[in-house]
Amino acid sequence: MELSLNIEALDSWVRKRGQKLLISGPCSVESPEQMDEVVRALSKQDNIDVLRGGIWKPRTRPDSFEGIGTEALPWLKEAGRALDIPVETEAAEAEHVELALKEGIDILWIGARTSASPFSVQEIADALKGVDIPVMVKNPINPDIQLWIGALERINNAGIQKLAAVHRGFSSFENSVFRNVPMWDIAIALKSLCSDLPIICDPSHIAGNKEMIPFVAQKAIDLDMDGLMIESHPDPEHALSDKEQQLSPEKLENLIRGLSMRSATSTDPVFENQLEELRAIIDQIDEDLIKTLVSRMKIVEKIGEYKKENSVTIFQLERWKEILETRTSLGKKLDLDEDFVKSFLELIHELSIRRQTDVMNQRIEK
Ligand code: PEP
Ligand code: MN
């Protein structure tokens, strides 16, 4: 399945000073003084492309700081002017869109809690009709790629072509080292469905703590995400929201300096040749793997016939346990991830049972 969105390339609507789009700024806009500090700190860095700042904050619990509101819009815009970069804030209602547009806010993002609600997204989409402003759509808090796609489609259908997705991880009841579990495969799946859609990673909300942000940011770059949104605050200890995850200006600078930038391709012919050779080997291995699986399935069908002739059940618990046990311990010995081997075997076993069921019911003619 392909996802067809009508999208303008990122480079055409935001100037990238480095190789990846870098968005930074505080979780929340708190005061004119704080924004003066932000300007002072970020003006020392020449690679921030967009200044972010929350005006209306949808907090999970009602007793948290919920943003300054409309009064803070000019403080954000003014800081963007001083830094000579566009500013971005979250819109959660149609009224936020109108107020932000009136103030000249350059980019909007739709937050994770809003993306999870089709009615809210549609309300925002309706307010955006006929307006030319870039919009970034955060993934919904629950790991539902269709909901994320639906939100992107609603905004795109309203005529917004300067569109990007923001991967900020997913809520989980399970204990995790992450504040929001990244589930990178969902971001990768979105990219595979729509290669034109830029995906920005938000390591701050994934990590939830300062220490892990560099690791998540590097991983996003290694996965060829198009940019990073990183929360920074002149005085994180006293931040009114998300203080555990906001980086001080020094930490932000170190993080950016420490990132190993990678691009999707290289122009170095030696690298290209080596890559080509290694890929040819992989192609052969994959072909062998598939042929081996086909041979295995042929044997599975033969066993199905014997079982049928002897009135023996398809599923044999002891045999299944033995397969799992021997193959995962072999994998472990050979340094192949145990969970991976288990999932791989489960897939094979599922197909084997299906094939043997077909043999038993004579859906496979021999
Ligand atoms: C934010 O960016 O500060 C924010 C509230 O994000 P999210 O919607 O991802 O929780
Ligand atoms: Mn935040």
Residues with CB under 5 Å of ion ligand 2 are: 27, 242
Atom of ligand 1 nearest to the CA of 166: 9
pLDDT at 364: 61
**Contact of 262 with 18, CB cutoff 8 Å:** no
Q: What is the CB < 6 Å shell around ligand 1?
A: 27, 54, 111-113, 138, 168, 205
Q: How many CA atoms lie within 13 A of 342 on its CB side?
A: 7
User: Could you tell me the distance, in angstroms and rounded to a whole number, from the CA of residue 242 to the centre of ligand 2?
Assistant: 5
What's the rounded mean pLDDT across residues 71-90?
A: 98
pLDDT at 18: 80
pLDDT at 366: 52
pLDDT at 281: 97
User: Could you tell me the distance, in angstroms and rounded to a whole number, from the CA of residue 275 to the centre of ligand 1?
Assistant: 39
User: What number of other Cβ atoms are within 10 A of residue 313's Cβ?
Assistant: 9
Q: How far apart are CA 81 and CA 73, in angstroms?
A: 13
pLDDT at 251: 97
Q: How far apart are CA 131 and CA 254, in angstroms?
A: 38
What CATH code would you report for 10-258? Answer: 3.20.20.70
Of 173, 172, 193, 169, residue with least CA distance to 183: 169
Q: For the segment 22-36, what is each residue's pLDDT rounded down to a tens digit?
A: 999 999 999 999 999
Output the CA torsion sign for 269, 275, 281, 284: negative
Rounded to the nearest angstrom, the gap between the alpha carbon of residue 137 and the centroid of all alpha carbons in its chain is 11
Residue 21 phi, psi dihedral angles, 5° rounding: -75, 130
Which ligand lies nearest the alpha carbon of 59? 1
Q: For the segment 308-349, what is each residue's pLDDT rounded down to a tens digit?
A: 999 999 999 999 999 999 999 999 999 999 999 999 999 999
User: What number of other Cβ atoms are within 10 A of residue 53's Cβ?
Assistant: 29
pLDDT at 10: 95
Strands 135-138 and 107-110, by their bridges, are: parallel
pLDDT at 126 over 70: yes
Stated pTM of the model: 0.83
- Return the percentage of the chain with pLDDT > 90, whole number: 89
Residue nearest to ligand 1 atom 9, measured at CA: 112
Query: Can you spell out the DSSP letters for 238-271?
Result: G-SS-TTTPBPHHHHHHHHHH-----S----HHH
pLDDT at 334: 96
Residue nearest to ligand 1 atom 1, measured at CA: 27
User: Could you tell me the distance, in angstroms and rounded to a whole number, from the CA of residue 210 to the centre of ligand 1?
Assistant: 16
Give CA separation, 299 vs 244, 353, 362, in Å: 56, 12, 16
Atom of ligand 1 nearest to the CA of 54: 3
Question: Which pLDDT band holds residue 363 (cuts at 50, 70, 90)?
Answer: low
Give CA separation, 60 vs 42, 65, 141, 365, in Å: 29, 10, 11, 59
Residues near 308 by beta carbon (within 8 Å), at least 6 away in sequence: 359, 360
pLDDT at 365: 55
Question: Which pLDDT band holds residue 61 (cuts at 50, 70, 90)?
Answer: confident
Residue nearest to ligand 1 atom 10, measured at CA: 112
User: Could you tell me the distance, in angstroms and rounded to a whole number, from the CA of residue 194 to the centre of ligand 1?
Assistant: 23
Residues near 338 by beta carbon (within 8 Å), at least 6 away in sequence: 328, 331, 332
Mean pLDDT of all residues belonging to the chain: 95
pLDDT at 118: 98
CATH 3.30.565.10 fits 269-360, yes or no: no
Q: For the segment 132-174, what is each residue's pLDDT rounded down to a tens digit?
A: 999 999 999 999 999 999 999 999 999 999 999 999 999 999 8
Question: Which pLDDT band holds residue 261 (cuts at 50, 70, 90)?
Answer: confident
Residues near 44 by beta carbon (within 8 Å), at least 6 away in sequence: 249, 253
pLDDT at 192: 95
Domain ranges of the chain: 10-258, 269-360
Residue nearest to ligand 1 atom 6, measured at CA: 111
What H or E segment, with its residue span, contains residue 23? strand 21-25
Q: How far apart are CA 326 and CA 7, in angstroms?
A: 50
Q: For the segment 192-209, what is each residue's pLDDT rounded down to a tens digit?
A: 999 999 999 999 999 999
User: Could you tell me the distance, in angstroms and rounded to a whole number, from the CA of residue 231 to the centre of ligand 2?
Assistant: 7
pLDDT at 17: 83
Give, for ligand 1, the residue of 51, 65, 88, 138 to mutate: max count of ligand atoms closer than 8 Å to Cβ.
138
Domains 10-258 and 269-360 share a fold: no
Q: How many CA atoms lie within 13 A of 112 on its CB side?
A: 19
Atom of ligand 1 nearest to the CA of 114: 8
Out of 216-225, 265-274, 299-308, 338-347, pick the least confident.
265-274
Please work out, in degrees rounded to the nearest 5, the angle formed at the alpha carbon of residue 163 by the alpha carbons of 186 and 256: 70
User: Could you tell me the distance, in angstroms and rounded to a whole number, from the CA of residue 175 to the centre of ligand 1?
Assistant: 20
3-state secondary structure 68-92: CCHHHHHHHHHHHHHHCCCEEEECC
pLDDT at 46: 87
Q: How far apart are CA 246 and CA 217, in angstroms?
A: 14
Give, for ligand 1, the residue of 90, 113, 172 to mutate: max count of ligand atoms closer than 8 Å to Cβ.
90
Please work out, in degrees rounded to the nearest 5, the angle formed at the alpha carbon of residue 280 by the alpha carbons of 275 and 285: 125
